[in-house]
């Protein structure tokens, strides 16, 4: 069952926290709502769950308009950052809670609880209390509890944010596996972490300042972001203020060859180049500057290069003899690796 936002606006005391959101999540699709805090992504999720009432617009689950339905009648599975397990109930009773509320026959409850715990790898912990489990295990129980009611829609609100980095990547793989096992479940995944969004999502909806900025597959958003905000939020990006010319753009006193289709000559625009596509030394689209900072990251070096007062990042394979602070350096990138952004012009040096 899909999810559809139809011009959903949410406001608290006249303060708009979600501005006319139009978004459709296809049945079985994983949609990530990606954005910084205060971007409205959690509000959008809570509107689907029924915990906030839109000031205007409708929310649909499949063909059903659920805007006026209370949360307990929506049949949605939900997992939140704090797990929200019931501390006084054992793991199995936590998982059985939704089934009991739905008056599922006792015998069936037992098999479905076992099934959900099996699926999340928590079968051995059925008799434990939540306080006896680690954070990752608690999150598995929360997922099992949400899946036990066999929802068509699963809402995940920053589900991995409370876990440490190593556990997080393990749980990401786990979530991907769960979705392969339950391909018909639509997932709305709220996160501020681009790695989670890029890894898990079929499509990403980028949100900022209560508005939907861009929506597309991770690859589309990464390769061809529509605006500067999306470029910098999905992956790292060098954003250079440029002026559009006839066959390219000019940045500082350098001429840069790039596809300028759709741009008006003479207009100001932003050029987006991913740091790992920037190389050192001579090549097309050369920029010269001085090294401001060198960071060694094991397999790569990250160079910060000052070019005409703007900072350009370059991620290059580990250098045997990395340049030092203040050294002159030349960087370059291929014309096809740069994207000209005409929307959302901003000087993010």
Partner 1 sequence: MASATLSTPAKARPRAAAWAWALPPVGLLALVFLYPLALVVQQSVRPDTGGTSVQPYADVFASEAFREALWTTVWLAAASTAGCLVLGFVLALIIAFVPFPGARAVSRFIDVFLSFPSFLITLALLFIYGSTGMAGGLWTDATGAGEGPFQFLTTPWGVLLAEITYFTPFVMRPLLAAFSQLDTAQLEAASSLGARAPRIIRRIILPESLPALAAGGSLVLVLCLNEFGIVLFTGAKGVTTLPMLVYGKAILESDYPGACVVAVVNVLISVGLYGLYRVVSRRAGA
Residues that bind partner 1 (CB under 8 A): 49-51, 70-78, 80, 82, 84-88, 97-98, 101-102, 142, 145-146, 149
Query: Between residues 51 and 296, which has the closer beta carbon with respect to partner 1?
Result: 51
Query: Between residues 70 and 309, which has the closer beta carbon with respect to partner 1?
Result: 70
Q: Exposed (0-12), middle (13-18) or buried (19+): which is 181, by Cβ within 10 Å?
A: exposed
- Smallest gap from Cβ 54 to partner 1, in A, equals 17
- Smallest gap from Cβ 258 to partner 1, in A, equals 48
Give one word for 129, left, alpha or beta, with left for phi > 0 and alpha for psi -120 to 50.
Answer: beta
- Smallest gap from Cβ 1 to partner 1, in A, equals 16
- The answer to whether the CB of 48 falls within 8 A of the CB of 104 is no
Tell me how far apart the alpha carbons of residues 294 and 68 are, in angstroms, rounded to a whole number: 56
β-strand 248-251 against 300-307: which pairing, if any?
Answer: unpaired
Rg value, the chain, Cα: 24
- Smallest gap from Cβ 345 to partner 1, in A, equals 40
Rounded to 5 degrees, φ, ψ at 28 are 80, 5
SS3 content of the chain, % helix, strand, coil (to 5): 30, 35, 35
Query: Between residues 97 and 304, which has the closer beta carbon with respect to partner 1?
Result: 97
- The answer to whether the CB of 74 falls within 8 A of the CB of 18 is no
Query: Between residues 112 and 203, which has the closer beta carbon with respect to partner 1?
Result: 112
Tell me how far apart the alpha carbons of residues 209 and 18 are, in angstroms, rounded to a whole number: 8
Query: Between residues 146 and 228, which has the closer beta carbon with respect to partner 1?
Result: 146
- The answer to whether the CB of 172 falls within 8 A of the CB of 163 is no
Query: Between residues 73 and 320, which has the closer beta carbon with respect to partner 1?
Result: 73
Give one word for 56, left, alpha or beta, with left for phi > 0 and alpha for psi -120 to 50.
Answer: beta
DSSP state of 324: P
Tell me how far apart the alpha carbons of residues 32 and 327 are, in angstroms, rounded to a whole number: 42
Query: Between residues 100 and 325, which has the closer beta carbon with respect to partner 1?
Result: 100
Tell me how far apart the alpha carbons of residues 48 and 333 are, in angstroms, rounded to a whole number: 43
Query: Between residues 115 and 202, which has the closer beta carbon with respect to partner 1?
Result: 115
- Smallest gap from Cβ 84 to partner 1, in A, equals 4
Query: Between residues 69 and 308, which has the closer beta carbon with respect to partner 1?
Result: 69
Task: Using alpha carbons, list the distances in angstroms from residue 258 to 227, 255, 279.
Answer: 16, 10, 16
DSSP secondary structure of 136-148: HHHHHHHHHHHHH
């Amino acid at each position: 069952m899909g999810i559809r936002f139809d011009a959903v606006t949410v406001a608290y005391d006249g303060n708009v926290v979600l501005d006319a959101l139009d978004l459709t999540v296809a049945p079985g699709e994983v949609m990530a709502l990606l954005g910084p805090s205060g971007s409205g992504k959690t509000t959008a999720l809570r509107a689907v769950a029924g915990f906030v009432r839109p000031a205007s617009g409708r929310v649909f689950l499949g063909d059903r308009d659920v805007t006026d339905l209370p949360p307990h009648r929506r049949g949605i599975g939900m997992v939140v950052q704090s797990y929200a397990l019931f501390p006084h109930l054992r793991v199995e009773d936590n998982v059985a809670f939704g089934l009991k509320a739905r008056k599922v026959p006792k015998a069936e409850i037992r098999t479905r609880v076992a099934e959900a715990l099996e699926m999340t790898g928590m079968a051995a912990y059925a008799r434990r209390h939540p306080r006896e489990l680690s954070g990752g295990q608690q999150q598995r129980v929360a997922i099992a509890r949400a899946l036990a009611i066999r929802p068509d829609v699963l809402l995940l609100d920053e589900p991995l944010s409370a876990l440490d980095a190593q556990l997080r990547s393990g749980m990401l793989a786990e979530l991907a596996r769960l979705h392969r096992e339950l391909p018909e479940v639509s997932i709305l995944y709220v996160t501020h972490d681009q790695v989670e969004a890029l890894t898990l999502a079929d499509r990403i909806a980028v949100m900022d300042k209560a508005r939907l900025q861009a929506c597309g597959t991770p690859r589309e958003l990464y390769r061809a972001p529509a605006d500067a905000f999306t470029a910098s939020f999905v992956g790292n990006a060098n954003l250079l203020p440029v002026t559009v010319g006839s066959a390219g753009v000019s940045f500082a006193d350098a001429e840069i060859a790039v596809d300028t289709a759709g741009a008006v000559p003479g207009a100001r625009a932003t050029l987006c180049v991913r740091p790992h596509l920037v190389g050192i030394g001579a090549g097309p689209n050369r920029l010269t500057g001085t090294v401001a900072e060198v960071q060694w990251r094991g397999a790569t070096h990250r160079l910060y290069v000052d070019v005409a007062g703007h900072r350009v990042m370059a991620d290059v394979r580990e250098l045997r003899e990395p340049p030092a602070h203040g050294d002159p350096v030349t960087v370059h990138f291929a014309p096809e690796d740069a994207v000209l952004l005409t929307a959302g012009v901003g000087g993010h040096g």
